[in-house]
């Protein structure tokens, strides 16, 4: 078996499973091996039912009190039952597992293990695993990998497949020179891959992680260094002059640009006017007003007779920008068009035609913008919104579309300067370090679920005063389907609680793009006052009239993620509020959430978060996922990042060629970061 082989060669993986694995971007054996656990589950002992705590995972040994009930709610089958041990009773529920009705027998003792949640005021274990004594005790205190999943793929499917591959594959060829391994105290590739999936203990897992993260950062910085070298300060084909329209737009804005915005705008003008190609990153906290600076740059490109694009991570955002740009630019005679994946073939074809013939100046869209079929005419400026989804590769693919256009990247990730210099090695950095002066600081509170009625009353009060609110629903990791169902259920309950005059709608990842856009449009127009949503409320959504965000299960998010979510409010002149509802009473959770409670400053939060979370602290909290590293976290793994960067710098062209010979897929890996032919 070889890394390049298709996953179809694994015994037990049929066509259907293969298709489902493809949805997780797993096509080859290598992809599977690099589908790292997102955490580890550690089985602790059996405890009495009476000690159940909301939000925690528990194992109980119990028997059925009554026979199993099933009911159908929309397209979900819900199986539920009550079990008892000597200390008390507990309700259990499963989704879409109707067969349990016949397999669970009265009078038999089972071990159930799962997360305790509160439903209608009662504690319930949701989706518990049912284990035999032997299975349970075999797993006790052993780190079990927990993989990112998709519909049709269980954790068991992946871990079984990985086990089989590890038994058959030879991974002893290590591309990383021995000296580097020695200098930075890194285990071999072979050991790392084996132990990241099935670690002997936490210490081994940490060593495996360190090596894999080192590789991620090493290859990334290698690619960046190359990119930087190849770019140099190249001559630009597009020299953009300042235009009177930009000055007019600045004058017409309902606010004055902050000094930080003015400074960044000047830097951009200088970049695009001095004859070299601009490669610039604008970094600014959520809501600091990056968009208007990008808008000015686009107007300038259009008024110089060129095209410009604005590429964002989601369709909802693309539409939001498209609509506001169209409104802003019409009076300047600048034509804007939208290009997103969900458009019909006919619509897309029309867009391609208008782009190619330069009937439009500004194109706003998602990754559809970089598809091969799009041909631009004099594309002078590419702006991407780097909310963790666009890596160097996409940036380059876009750049290659034009005759080397100017590139502007916007990021709301608060990265300390020393790290930013490494991570954005090929870019100059501008920082918007000042919020608009009309902003009031967001008021925060951390509460438990008992506070919900008060929170709902508060939302009602704000809505009656003309404002709007977001409610972010509990996170469900098992399946998007169940998550969607939760959102619908939550919305129904909220409708029962709040007055009928308040329009409440929901948004979740399973909805069609058109439905999502429609809901967002109506929320923007204040036809919807309360939006219940999963985290699909993406970074960048801008509804300044929304003043409350209530986040359920706040304990399950990383602080960076919470800060981004919170950034959906406090974007206008009104006092805004963030209610963090925590489903856990643990001291660590309280400490973590307290950081957000205390501060609204992204840099401060990131650095405090770092102090609390040690490196490799991957239990329980969703990682920030910045810049597409599979395991590496730029904050907690900053030391590894610095080391990897240092090591990459020592590599000469010949060294790289040498190690690529040893490991042919290394070249591909580097390319996957850079999108550039390096070798």
Ligand X SMILES: Nc1ncnc2c1ncn2[C@@H]1O[C@H](COP(=O)(O)OP(=O)(O)OP(=O)(O)O)[C@@H](O)[C@H]1O
The footprint of ligand X (CB under 6 A) covers 255, 257-258, 261, 284, 286-292, 412, 436, 438, 540, 542, 544, 567, 571
Cβ 534 to ligand X shortest distance, Å: 18
Cβ 292 to ligand X shortest distance, Å: 5
Q: How far apart are CA 19 and CA 620, in angstroms?
A: 29
Q: Which is nearer to ligand X, 563 or 669 (CB)?
A: 563
Q: Which is nearer to ligand X, 104 or 383 (CB)?
A: 383
Q: How far apart are CA 525 and CA 536, in angstroms?
A: 19
Cβ 296 to ligand X shortest distance, Å: 11
Contacts of 496 (CB under 8 A, 6+ apart): none
Specify the 3-state DSSP secondary structure of 58: strand
Cβ 385 to ligand X shortest distance, Å: 8
Q: How far apart are CA 155 and CA 291, in angstroms?
A: 41
Cβ 529 to ligand X shortest distance, Å: 19
Q: Which is nearer to ligand X, 169 or 537 (CB)?
A: 537
Contacts of 25 (CB under 8 A, 6+ apart): 31
Q: How far apart are CA 557 and CA 559, in angstroms?
A: 6
Cβ 146 to ligand X shortest distance, Å: 31
What Cα–Cα distance (Å) separates residue 367 from each residue in 162, 273, 309, 386, 517? 31, 28, 11, 12, 17
Q: Which is nearer to ligand X, 291 or 534 (CB)?
A: 291
Tokens of 491: 């919305």
Q: How far apart are CA 514 and CA 117, in angstroms?
A: 33
Tokens of 285: 């906290």
42: exposed, middle or buried (C-beta count within 10 Å: 0-12, 13-18, 19+)?
Answer: middle
What Cα–Cα distance (Å) separates residue 223 from each residue in 320, 366, 421, 625? 33, 24, 14, 19
Q: Which is nearer to ligand X, 104 or 294 (CB)?
A: 294
Q: Which is nearer to ligand X, 68 or 543 (CB)?
A: 543
Cβ 435 to ligand X shortest distance, Å: 8
Cβ 408 to ligand X shortest distance, Å: 13
Q: Which is nearer to ligand X, 569 or 641 (CB)?
A: 569
Q: Which is nearer to ligand X, 281 or 504 (CB)?
A: 281
CB atoms within 10 A of CB 82: 16
* Sign of the torsion formed by the C-alpha atoms of 664, 666, 671 and 676: negative
Radius of gyration of the chain (CA): 26
């Amino acid at each position: 078996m070889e890394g390049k082989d298709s996953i179809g060669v694994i015994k037990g993986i049929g066509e259907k499973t293969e298709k489902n694995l493809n949805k997780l971007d797993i096509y080859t054996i290598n992809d599977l091996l690099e589908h790292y656990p997102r955490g580890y589950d550690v089985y602790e002992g059996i405890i009495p039912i009476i000690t159940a705590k909301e939000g925690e995972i528990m194992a109980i040994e119990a028997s059925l009190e009554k026979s199993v009930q099933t009911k159908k709610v929309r397209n979900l089958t819900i199986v539920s039952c009550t079990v008892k041990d000597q200390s008390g009773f507990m309700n259990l529920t499963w989704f879409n597992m109707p067969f349990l009705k016949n397999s669970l027998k009265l009078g038999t003792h089972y071990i159930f293990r799962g997360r305790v949640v509160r439903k209608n005021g009662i504690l319930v274990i949701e989706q518990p695993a049912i284990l035999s004594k032997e299975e349970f005790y075999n797993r006790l205190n052993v780190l079990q990998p927990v993989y990112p999943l998709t519909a049709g793929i269980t954790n068991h499917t992946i871990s079984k497949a990985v086990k089989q591959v590890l038994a058959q594959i030879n991974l002893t060829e290590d591309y990383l020179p021995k000296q580097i391994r020695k200098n930075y105290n890194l285990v071999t590739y072979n050991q790392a891959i084996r132990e990241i999936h099935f670690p002997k203990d936490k210490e081994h897992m940490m060593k495996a992680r360190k090596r894999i993260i080192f590789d991620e950062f090493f290859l990334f910085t290698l690619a960046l260094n190359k990119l930087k070298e190849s770019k140099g300060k190249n001559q630009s084909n597009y020299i953009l002059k300042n235009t009177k329209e930009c000055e007019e737009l600045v004058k017409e804005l309902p606010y004055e640009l902050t000094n930080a915005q003015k400074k960044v705008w000047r830097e951009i003008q200088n970049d695009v006017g001095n004859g070299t190609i601009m490669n610039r990153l604008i970094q600014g906290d959520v809501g600091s007003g990056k968009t208007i600076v990008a808008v000015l740059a686009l107007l300038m490109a259009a008024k110089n007779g060129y095209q410009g694009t604005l590429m964002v991570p989601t369709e909802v955002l693309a539409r939001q920008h498209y609509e506001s740009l169209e409104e802003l630019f019409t009076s300047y005679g600048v034509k804007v068009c939208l290009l997103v994946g969900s458009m019909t073939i006919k619509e897309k074809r029309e867009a391609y035609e208008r782009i190619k013939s330069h009937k439009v100046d500004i194109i706003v869209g998602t990754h559809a913008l970089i598809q091969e079929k799009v041909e631009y005419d004099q594309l002078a400026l590419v702006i991407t919104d780097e909310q963790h989804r666009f890596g160097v590769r996409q940036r380059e693919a876009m750049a290659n579309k034009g005759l080397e256009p100017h590139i502007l990247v916007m990021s709301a990730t608060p990265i300390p300067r020393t790290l930013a210099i490494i991570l954005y090695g090929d870019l100059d950095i501008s920082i918007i370090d000042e919020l608009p002066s009309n902003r009031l600081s967001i008021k925060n509170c951390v509460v438990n679920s008992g506070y919900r009625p008060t929170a709902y009353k508060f939302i009602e009060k704000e809505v009656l005063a003309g404002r709007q609110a977001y409610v972010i629903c509990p996170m469900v990791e098992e399946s998007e389907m169940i998550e969607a169902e939760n959102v619908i259920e939550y919305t129904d309950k909220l409708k029962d609680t709040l007055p009928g005059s308040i329009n409440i709608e929901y948004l979740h990842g399973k909805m069609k793009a058109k439905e999502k856009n429609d809901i967002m449009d109506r929320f923007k127009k204040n036809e919807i006052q309360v939006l219940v949503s999963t985290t699909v409320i993406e970074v960048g959504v801008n509804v300044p009239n929304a003043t409350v965000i209530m986040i359920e299960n706040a304990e399950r998010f990383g602080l960076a993620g919470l800060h981004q979510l919170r950034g959906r409010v406090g974007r206008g002149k009104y006092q805004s509020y963030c209610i963090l509802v925590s489903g856990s009473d643990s001291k660590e959770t309280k400490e973590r959430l307290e950081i957000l409670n205390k501060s609204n400053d992204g840099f401060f939060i990131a650095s405090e978060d770092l102090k609390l979370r040690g490196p490799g602290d991957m239990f329980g909290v969703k990682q920030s996922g910045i810049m597409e590293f599979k395991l590496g976290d730029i904050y907690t793994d900053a030391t590894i990042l610095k080391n990897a960067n240092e090591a990459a710098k020592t590599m000469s062209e010949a060294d790289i060629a040498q190690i690529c010979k040893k490991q042919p897929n290394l070249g591909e890996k580097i390319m996957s970061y850079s999108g550039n032919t390096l070798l």
